[in-house]
Chains A and B, each alone.
Chain A
Amino acid sequence: MTTASCSVAGLKVQLDRAGPDVVDEISFEVFPGEILALVGESGSGKTTVGTALLAHARRGARIVAGTVDIDGTELLGQPVAVSRKRRGSVVAYVPQDPAASLNPVLRVGYQIREVLDVHESGTPAQRDERVREVLAEVALPSDEEFLRRYPHQLSGGQAQRVVIAMAFALRPKVLVLDEPTTGLDVTNQAHVLETVRDLCQRHKVAAVYVTHDLAVVGELAHRVAVLYAGQIVEIGTKEEIFAAPSHPYTRALLAAVPSVTEPRVLTGIAGHAPSPGHRPSGCRFHDRCEYQQSECAEVEPPVIEVSGLLSRCLRAEHVRAQPNAVPMAAPAAECDATDTVLEVAGLSASYGRVEILHDIDISVPRNGCVALVGESGSGKSTLSRCIGGLHDEWTGSILFEGQPVPAGARKRTPQLRKSIQYVFQNPYLALNPRMTVGEIIRRPVILFGLAKGADAEKRVLELLDQVSLPRSAKGLLPVRLSGGERQRVAIARALACEPEVLICDEVTSALDVSVQASIIALLDDLRQTRGLSMLFVTHNLALVRSIATRTVVLEDGRIVEDGPTERVLDTPEADYTKTLLANTPRMATG
């Protein structure tokens, strides 16, 4: 076996001098040409581990223990001048948000060349040559016009490629990629992943790929390290882990991931991940674990080997032996296709002089869930905003139960405003930070005159029950809630109006996958038990499988495909749908 390009042992990062640990006991190795996925949900500390590989910690945090050996040389504990020389040259970093990571006032060519200049690689002419070469490697133009562009003149995909070119410029031995495809469309994402895979293999680069997206892991990684609450809970080859995980957290995480090929019944993980300083004693996952035993709360589990996997669970053997089957069930479609509750016909919408949507026809059957799928710029959000009364520059017609719906919420009757409810993408922005949960949910009850006084209070409690929030949440401000809990409050606010139609605009895209699963389960349950009809806007084709009865695909403001979900995803007719499906990453489950 060759020696590892990167080996990390006992790494520990703290907040401030004596603050709580962000991550600790981090140990792993990565070999040349290998891609290790560092998987974790928000707050797990995965980005902290990523930058620590470059001997760097963000402001307010510091690396306090451990070793990071890059290509045979220890990186930690060195004078700044030494570790600096190795950053960008031997170990390089690809950041999460390329648009923000490129300096807005410097030209693109300059910023790539700067890496070569600062590490004094070759002659100036060779540096120019290398800049062109590396741009070609990431499939970007390398002409003068491109080099002279400023970051704002690049598209999102281009900016990401520029950052990757910067990382590869000096042919590093180790590459750290921090969620580099967040915010990219599936097509761009597929291209970026291909480039990364290709370059790592060709130049024998050891890559650490930090991500929360298990589908991407399935596409790209050789080995997987699962991070929970600042520790690696499980590490092993992708195949072993996906087939039979030995840690309950990994199992639960896998059960929460939707699949584009099969209609999984998604199960979330109860509770939420603890933040640094609030982590429980014993096993850090024990309070959310379905395999929990009494000793789990007391004993901090050691790392043990279970047939090829390293696991931090007292019951790893037992967990690993459990069958790993996810229940399947297509979303129930007991709806009468002729009973249409919402009908959009010939709708064209514009922003100013630019027409965004062209001649759209959609119908939502009563008690059905229609998914509206498309990439960014396809107009899917504009369409949902037109229906929700948030955008009024449109022509055509929208009928609710046969009754015409005017453009703009203020022109609608209270009855219409109450019947069509909108749930927003980002639960962190969708709730007034200065109102308590109770006030937020009570407001529509009062506004639409549905109940008063003590009855309204009772109604608030019922609604909290319906979205599975504790009644004690009533007096809390949103800042005290997690993202998933906030989205439940937003759903409760919509339900408070006693609506017929619920428009869900990317409602899970700001949430972790385990939280997404429980929100999807809640929405599906509400649809079936309350007879709600739903328009579910998403860019995530896999999610559609688990929630929608019917799927509409939008491309550049036009509908290119419309049919029952299974038909659209299994035997797509439009070329665009086929491309989207081909580019959607999938976990190859064993």
Chain B
Amino acid sequence: MNGSWSRAFRVSLRYPRTWAGLVLTGVIAVVALLGPLLAPHGPNDIVGRPYAKPGGKAAFGTDYLGQDVLSRLLEGGFSVLVTAVLATVLGMVVGVVAGLVAGYAKGWLDEVIMRLTDVVLAFPQIVLALVLLTVAGPQQWLIIVIVGLSHAPRVARLTRGMTTTLATREFIQSAEAMGEPRGRIMFGELLPNMSGPLLAELGLRLTYSIGLVASIGFLGFVADPRAADWGMMINENRLALLVQPWAILAPVIAIAVLTVGTNLVADGIAAAAANADQNEEASA
């Protein structure tokens, strides 16, 4: 049964876009994860004049303080990537569990969960994040929790929709008639049948998480203002677009490549899942 997840992923590898996405994501992920080990300078070392053009000690030039753009680029991906991944996992787990419970239990529990999702959905994700950060201040764990929870209702809606459809299927009724425990029906019978769409959703949510985390950084809400962070780098150096565009374009391109990559993978998985569904329907 665990095979259904790896199978959903394997099938998506038939699509060239999945491979393209994996390559793009892989390149940036390597930069983000191994970058701190490869950086020629420390992120806060002053290596020259502010906004120095590329050349000499700084291959990508320097930033508004004279720090090395390349080093900060190599350092600044780690926090974005790790924050986004953790937030995505949190949002998926909470969303899937809430959606399964709401869709399968129905009744008042369903009503309560759905009303809660209504409330969270009313806020655009970035607005929700800003409001929650106002008093508490930008802390790393809080950003993870906020981004994750802002995904949860969207994941819950999706999961609930699939659950209510699947729950009327006769194989679920069969399990109920035999007295299969509810938890096992939800996680053992229903969940594996959502592997394709949920995996695609995971990819999509990761794409949005990266965008959201970077946007929060871009707006200047980072835990440590001196640390290197791709979103924050763009914010710090935005006046330099005319004189030293690399200071700003380097992180912009990194984020762009990463999100395009994850989105391509997500779409490949979604296409494979839709196709598998169609095949199952065609045989029915």
Contacts and interface: CB of A to CB of B under 8 A. Distances in A.
B179 A422 contact: no
B171 A388 contact: no
B118 interface: no
B193 A422 contact: no
B176 A409 contact: yes
Interface stretch (B65-73, B136-144, B156-164, B276-284): B276-284
A432 interface: yes
Interface string A422-448: 101110111111110001000110011
Contact of A479 (B170, B173, B279): B279
A447 B179 contact: yes
A388 B170 contact: no
A443 B172 CA distance: 13
Nearest to B277: A433
Contacts of A410: 176, 179
Contacts, number: 68
Nearest to A409: B177
Contacts of A426: 170, 284
B177 A429 contact: no
A414 interface: yes
Given A414-B179, A435-B1, A424 B193 contact: no
A417 B178 contact: yes
A388 B179 contact: no
A304 interface: no
Contacts of A425: 170
B178 A497 contact: yes
B280 A422 contact: no
A25 B280 CA distance: 30
A429 B284 contact: yes
Contacts of B283: 428, 479
A433 B280 contact: yes
Given A425-B170, A479-B280, A447 B180 contact: yes
B195 interface: yes
Interface string B255-284: 000000000000000000000000110011
B177 A422 contact: yes
B8 to A, nearest CB: 10
B179 A417 contact: yes
Given A409-B177, A434-B4, A447-B179, A424 B195 contact: no
Contacts of A148: none
B177 A434 contact: no
A389 interface: yes
Given A432-B189, A432-B193, A417 B177 contact: yes
Contacts of B54: none
Contact of B174 (A424, A433, A434): A424
Interface residues of A, number: 31
B7 to A, nearest CB: 9
Nearest to A480: B283
Contacts of B226: none
B178 A447 contact: yes
A297 interface: no
Given A434-B1, A439-B1, A429 B170 contact: yes
Contacts of B192: 432, 434-435
A390 interface: yes
Nearest to A417: B179
B27 to A, nearest CB: 33
A431 B166 CA distance: 12
A368 B4 CA distance: 42
Contacts of A428: 280, 283-284
Contacts of B169: 429-430
Interface in A216-248: none
A152 B177 CA distance: 33
A390 B171 CA distance: 12
A85 interface: no
A390 B176 contact: yes
A434 B192 CA distance: 6
B176 A412 contact: no
A421 B169 CA distance: 17
Contacts of A432: 171, 189, 192-193
A444 B170 CA distance: 16
Contacts of B180: 443, 447
A410 B180 CA distance: 9
A479 B178 CA distance: 23
A167 to B, nearest CB: 27
A390 B173 contact: yes
Contacts of A443: 178, 180
A433 B172 CA distance: 11
B268 to A, nearest CB: 20
Given A390-B177, A422-B173, A443-B178, 13 more contacts: A389-B177, A417-B178, A421-B177, A422-B177, A424-B173, A429-B284, A430-B169, A432-B171, A432-B192, A435-B192, A439-B1, A448-B178, A479-B279
14 contacts: A390-B177, A409-B176, A409-B177, A417-B178, A422-B173, A424-B170, A428-B280, A429-B169, A429-B171, A433-B280, A434-B1, A434-B4, A434-B192, A435-B189
- The list of the 7 closest CB pairs from A to B, nearest first, reads A428-B284, A434-B192, A424-B170, A430-B170, A434-B4, A432-B171, A429-B170
Interface of A: 388-390, 409-410, 412, 414, 417-418, 421-422, 424-426, 428-435, 439, 443-444, 447-448, 479, 490, 493, 497
